């Protein structure tokens, strides 16, 4: 039952990705209808401080609940949406839906954690994310500190000034900004200096083989030290084992995210998860 359990879903889309008959490009023609028909859904993965046990936030992750293909991973359709320009509509929907959901959570009970939204560099170039965020917060009557933006880099940035200004403008209105998947792709050291984000998220590929793999261990501890020296927060993503968590804590990284703590959860399971955590 893919729809109701956030967790088991990954199995299904990994199989789809490996299937050469899976028609990636046909999906592009279905985007608009899918949005109108509410086929996109958000799941929310907790970020946990393993020192205190507190949930420090959740990250909104989009899925496509396709009528015939099942639950499709954003790893498949986000690149297609970027290519076709649909990312602007989808990105706006993700921000709006996230803010609607935060308001719903707040109306149902205490809810004081930050919700992170992924925004790709392409989106910043193609639309005014800052205005969109500002207007959506206003519409839902939410304070800016309930939102965080994670910037993911997948293409070479020719428009660094646009990104730099957007980050500064988001921070000016009280929204925190993270550099996602740090250490991979084009997310380089020079970004840290130029973009002045609040948080570095260490990519899962460096966490996977911890603590045995010496090279990864060296890179991860260096990034943690670097973050501290630059006065930035650091979050490790993709933590799947107790050993990985212990290694990270030992190096001074207490904020983590990963299947060991929780898979991305459907919206209705988030309050229960928060309650369970704060109750211990």
CA 126 – CA 207 distance, rounded (Å): 32
| Residue 108 burial (10 A CB sphere; 0-12, 13-18, 19+) | exposed
| Binding map of ligand C2E across residues 31-50, x = CB under 6 A, - = no contact | --------------x-----
Q: Considering the rule CB under 6 A, would residue 211 count as an interface residue with ligand C2E?
A: no
What is the phi/psi pair of residue 193, to 5°? -75, -45
Smallest Cα–Cα separation from 235: which of 218, 254, 219? 254
- Under rule CB under 6 A, which residues in 141-170 are in contact with ligand C2E? 150, 152
Q: Assess contact for 207 and 244: CB atoms under 8 A.
A: yes
* By the rule CB under 5 A, 118 interacts with Mg ion: yes
181 binds ligand C2E (CB under 6 A): yes
Q: Does 93 bind ligand C2E (CB under 6 A)?
A: no
| Residue 263 CB, nearest approach to ligand C2E (Å) | 7
C-alpha–C-alpha distance, residues 207 and 225, integer Å: 16
The HSE-up count of residue 242 (CA atoms within 13 Å, CB side) is 0
Q: Which position among 97, 153, 180, 216 is part of the footprint of Mg ion (CB under 5 A)? A: 180
Q: Minimum CB separation from Mg ion for residue 9, in Å?
A: 16
Partner that binds at residue 199, options Mg ion, ligand C2E, none, CB closer than 5 to 8 Å by kind: none
Shortest separation between residue 126's beta carbon and Mg ion, angstroms: 19
- 40-49 and 114-120 strand pairing: unpaired
Closer Cβ to ligand C2E, 119 or 146, answer by number: 119
Contact 94/60 with Cβ under 8 angstroms?
yes
Rg for the chain, CA atoms, rounded: 18
**CA–CA separation, 145 vs 4, rounded Å?**
29
User: Which residue lies nearer to ligand C2E by CB, 76 or 217?
Assistant: 76
Task: Assess 22 for contact with ligand C2E (CB under 6 A).
Answer: no
- Please state the closest distance from residue 75 (CB atom) to ligand C2E, in A: 5
Applying CB under 5 A, does 153 fall inside the site for Mg ion?
Answer: no
Q: Which of 90/224 has CB closer to ligand C2E? A: 90
Contact flag: residue 140 with ligand C2E (CB under 6 A): no
CA of 240: how far to CAs of 146, 186, 187, 202, 210, in Å?
27, 25, 23, 14, 10
Q: Of the listed pieces 19-27, 139-147, 211-219, 255-263, which binds ligand C2E according to CB under 6 A?
A: 255-263
Q: Which of 34, 55, 94, 102 binds ligand C2E (CB under 6 A)?
A: 94
Binding site for Mg ion (CB under 5 A): 118, 150, 180-181, 237
């Amino acid at each position: 039952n893919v729809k109701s359990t956030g967790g088991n879903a990954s199995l299904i889309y990994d199989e789809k990705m490996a299937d050469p008959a899976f028609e990636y490009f046909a999906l592009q023609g279905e985007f608009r209808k899918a949005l109108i028909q509410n086929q996109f859904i958000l799941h929310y993965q907790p970020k946990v401080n393993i020192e205190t046990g507190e949930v420090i936030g959740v990250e909104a992750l989009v899925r496509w609940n396709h009528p015939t293909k099942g639950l499709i991973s954003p790893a498949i359709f986000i690149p297609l949406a970027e290519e076709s320009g649909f990312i602007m509509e989808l990105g706006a929907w993700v921000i709006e839906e996230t803010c609607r959901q935060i308001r719903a959570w707040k109306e149902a009970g205490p809810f004081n954690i930050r919700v992170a939204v992924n925004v790709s560099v392409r989106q910043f170039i193609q639309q005014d994310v800052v205005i969109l965020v500002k207007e959506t917060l206003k519409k839902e009557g939410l304070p800016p500190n309930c939102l965080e933006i994670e910037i993911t880099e997948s293409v070479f940035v020719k428009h660094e000034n646009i990104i730099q200004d957007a980050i500064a403008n988001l921070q000016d209105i009280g929204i925190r900004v993270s550099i996602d998947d740090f250490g991979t792709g084009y997310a380089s050291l020079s970004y840290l200096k130029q973009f002045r984000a609040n948080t570095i998220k260490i990519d899962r590929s460096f966490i996977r083989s911890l603590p045995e793999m010496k090279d990864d261990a060296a890179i991860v501890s260096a990034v943690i030290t670097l973050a501290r020296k630059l006065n930035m927060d650091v979050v490790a993503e993709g933590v799947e084992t107790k050993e990985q968590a212990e290694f990270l804590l030992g190096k001074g990284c207490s904020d983590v995210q990963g299947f060991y703590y929780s898979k991305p959860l459907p919206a209705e399971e988030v309050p229960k998860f928060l309650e369970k955590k704060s109750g211990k």
